[in-house]
Chain A
Amino acid sequence: MEKELSSATQFGKVCEILDRYDRDPAKLIPILQAVQEEYRYLPEEILTLVATSLNLPPAKVYGVATFYSHFTLTPKGKHIIRLCDGTACHVKGSTALLDAIRKRLGLTGKQQSTPDLLFTVETVSCLGACGLAPAVVIDDKVHGQVTPEKAVALVEELINAEA
């Protein structure tokens, strides 16, 4: 099976991205955002290529990539579940939501992604949707006033669609 993440066209993508941003080191952050959009994470090899193409030390690029929580250096799942744990959502019971989702997906300890790389569960500080608390974003779609049951049902839906 040809891996989707590493086809030649995908490798060409990083070059396209670099050209799109004129290989300008000042545009490192938008470049990394575009790379992550394309590859779903920031592969080490791609970061090295980005660094050398922009004439930046790889350590600097690594520094930027590890500073922002938006960036990830490990592969993320196909479906990304972002759970708001800001003040309003926290008060409205986001912890119970997180527990329910993680339990349904069998995530333990510091594990954020399922081994089959179908799901990644993260918490974020505030989605700016406090009126909908507790809020969950699944694959960029915002769900408001989510209960643990509703959250598990949303996850089940995705699992069934993947099966």
Chain B
Amino acid sequence: MDEKKYLTIDGRQIAIEGERNVLEVARKAGIEIPTFCYHSDLSVYGACRLCLVDIAGRGGVASCSTAPEPGMVVKTSTKQIRAMRKIAVELLLAAHDQSCTTCYKSTSCKLLDLANKLGVTKVRFKPGFERMPLDNSNPSLQRDNNKCILCGDCVRMCQEVQGIGVLDFAGRGSHSRVVPAFGKDLKNVECIYCGQCARICPTGAIIPKNEVSKAWELLDNPEYKTVATIAPAVRVGFGEAFGMPVGTDVTGKITAALKQLGFVAVFDTTFAADLTVVEEAEEFLRRVTAGGTLPQFTSCCPAWVKYAEQFYPELLPNLSSCRSPQAMFGAMAKEMLPKLFDVPREKVKIVSIMPCTAKKFEAQRPEFSRDGDRETEVVLTTQELIQMIKGAGIDFNAIEPEAMDLPLGFKTGAGVIFGVTGGVSEAALRYAYKKLTGKNLANVEFKEVRGDDGYRRAEITIGDNKVRVVVVHSLSNAHKICEEVKAGKADVDLIEVMACPGGCVGGAGQPVYVGMETRKQRAAGLYRVDRNMQLHSSEDNPYVKEAYQNILGTPNSHKAHELLHTHYQSRKRIQDEDVLVSGSDEAQEKLPVTICVGTSCFKRGSQQLLQELTDFLKENNLQDQVAIKATFCHERCDRGPTANVDGTIMEKCSFEALRAEVVKRLRSAVAK
């Protein structure tokens, strides 16, 4: 029954063990076949033609989209195959902006790497691309279509893993390009800035926005006290850029390097993660005991928060009101450091080192500024700090580790595991256990919530209570649980969401990686750090206790809400103009009425409202006095249908209410 089947690759007999395609069989045997568009976690696309192999009786075929069959005779490097691959790369280069020397991606560019490996020394074809403008519209990502090789990796990443589909192919033939809807900039569409498209992009067509120069500006200004803070996941990704084994903890070395760069103090965002655990777990327990909105969703992932604001406004009350650790850190540091350094608040500048591109967006949300002064001034990705350290000529491998500064540099293992999927839940469970039972945990590791599956369920017994937890990563899984919650079928109390596969360790700001193994090893690295710490529960952090004694009072207190909590808003997905439905808006004196026909309001009957109002105006010969427009969002989706009568937004609007308001306004206009 279980007899093994074999095929032959380059003269070697290799067993077929359930691989999806010839490419995977070859790679298992240690034979590297070049690819651009093939990723084991995405669907097979077969567009780049780099993985061509020669199969006896079939000739050159794409190995990624050919199923392995017993007895197949495969050659991966014949003269013809090498020539075909070389031409494919040459053609790609001809349609590519070859500005490699100034390209951010040149050290990790797959196109450049393959051109070198295949010995492409000259491109024989005329450059054939229409130059397209750079999309620099948003705080997190930069898109340069001139470097796009149309492999579609970003398209499938966003659609299949994140379940959004911000990018897609538009046009046809030589005019094909990968763009957001209507060729708009990323800022004006539903992008949540997770940056997974940038991570998977083989060239520099989508890259994290680079803000290294902004960080230097702060450091160069002697008036500022510029401090750095690093996120949990950064410490286990950093070493890869310096030839260290994946998952090596280099916290001490990063601290030393940051001091050498000129930061006056180096802190740990993990301290704020400990605060998050206390605040979020207390909020959860309060919701359970006081009958608040449940299930509670975590809110530390900024890409998930933006996703919820755009796609699930009705679930915003379920999101924990806790800020992310970065935002908590910003508020606490701005509160404590001015006194410590004896300078005014605005002279303390915080540079946050993150594995994440969406954190750049988060830091510039207006909620996290006071009088125009941002709490977190600059967010650098792990990659940007690596660039900065290399650029400053610091020998990272040789540098002696240093300790972080107090008080904001002290942390527990609970905060450290925030960087991996399941970590936030585990940290909260450790806190809840002690809170509910009054006992210390014998074994702090909640293995039930660990793992790499995108959607995990666990039921944890704490004393007499049972907590039902769902842990998801990748937003396609978030979509799944949100739909279940909406349908009332979720059967869960606490839901942890991380937008990036694997959690923050797999973030787009980390050194570029391919496949799942790297992020798993980084996760293992974080669990090792936790094991090696003295403290594993956030409430045991003495500086967290001190912060509550001196500044915050009790968890969820008024002061804690001011510094550590936030609020959310519905967000429009596609930015566009309103559609004029009737009456031209040229004449100024017309009463402007806008009715939302976005998905949510549409379902609640906005089309009916529109029709009834139009008919009413016609019947009463008023159509010349009112300009009706249809819009796609008043950003109050949970209270639809909405209408805007000359600036007054009416929620849950009935035709009778709308008619009354319109008539009232028209009468008062006549009276004037």
Which A residues form the contact surface with B (CB < 8 A)? 1-3, 6-9, 11-12, 15, 43-49, 51-53, 56-63, 66-69, 73
Contact = CB atoms under 8 A, between A and B. Distances in A.
Nearest to A52: B599
B231 to A, nearest CB: 30
A57 B164 contact: yes
Given A45-B576, A53-B599, A11 B581 contact: yes
Contact of A59 (B172, B180, B579, B602): B180
A62 B577 CA distance: 17
A12 B581 CA distance: 10
A77 to B, nearest CB: 20
Contact of B576 (A1, A44, A60): A44
B582 A53 contact: no
B155 to A, nearest CB: 8
A53 B581 CA distance: 19
Contacts of A68: 172
A60 B165 contact: yes
Nearest to A8: B614
Given A6-B581, A45-B577, A57-B181, A63 B170 contact: yes
A67 B180 contact: no
Given A6-B582, A12-B607, A12-B610, 4 more contacts: A44-B576, A47-B182, A59-B181, A68-B172
Contact of A8 (B165, B577, B628): B628
Nearest to A6: B580
B461 interface: no
Interface string B161-194: 0001111111110000001111100000110000
A162 to B, nearest CB: 22
11 contacts: A6-B581, A6-B582, A7-B614, A11-B630, A48-B574, A52-B573, A57-B159, A57-B166, A58-B574, A67-B169, A73-B182
B407 interface: no
B599 A67 contact: no
Interface in B549-593: 573-574, 576-584
A66 B170 contact: yes
Contacts of B165: 56-57, 59-60
Nearest to B631: A45
A3 B579 contact: no
A53 B602 contact: yes
B579 A67 contact: no
B560 to A, nearest CB: 38
Contact of B168 (A7, A11, A46, A57): A57
B357 to A, nearest CB: 19
Nearest to B155: A59
B181 A58 contact: yes
A59 B167 contact: yes
B582 A63 contact: no
Contact of A1 (B164, B584, B614, B628): B584
Contact of B632 (A49, A60, A62): A49
A44 B632 CA distance: 11
Contact of A62 (B181, B599, B614): B181
B260 interface: no
B574 A67 contact: no
A8 B611 contact: yes
B643 interface: no
Contacts, number: 102
B202 interface: no
Contact of B597 (A2, A49, A61): A49
Contacts of B170: 59, 62-63, 66-67
A125 B148 CA distance: 29
Q: Chain B CB within 10 Å — which of A56, A62, A69 has the most?
A: A62
A44 B584 contact: no
A67 B171 CA distance: 5
Given A59-B167, A67-B172, A7 B582 contact: yes
A45 B579 contact: yes
Contact of A43 (B167, B579, B623): B579
Given A8-B614, A52-B599, A66 B172 contact: yes
Contacts of B168: 57, 59-60, 62-63
Q: Chain A CB within 10 Å — which of B168, B169, B179, B602 has the most?
A: B168
A3 B580 contact: yes
Contacts of A12: 607, 610-611
B169 A2 contact: no
A15 B171 CA distance: 26
Contacts of B611: 8, 12
B182 A58 contact: yes
B172 A8 contact: no
Q: Chain A CB within 10 Å — which of B190, B574, B628 has the most?
A: B574
Contact of B181 (A2, A6, A49, A61): A61
B237 interface: no
Nearest to A60: B168
Contacts of A7: 581-582, 614
Interface string B448-486: 000000000000000000000000000000000000000
The 4 nearest A-B residue pairs measured at CB: A57-B165, A58-B181, A8-B614, A59-B168
Given A57-B166, A66-B170, A8 B581 contact: yes
A60 B584 CA distance: 32
Contacts of B171: 66-67
B60 interface: no
B204 interface: no
A7 B599 CA distance: 20
Q: Chain A CB within 10 Å — which of B169, B584, B598 has the most?
A: B169
Contacts of A69: 172
Nearest to B171: A66
Given A44-B576, A48-B632, A67-B172, A59 B607 contact: no
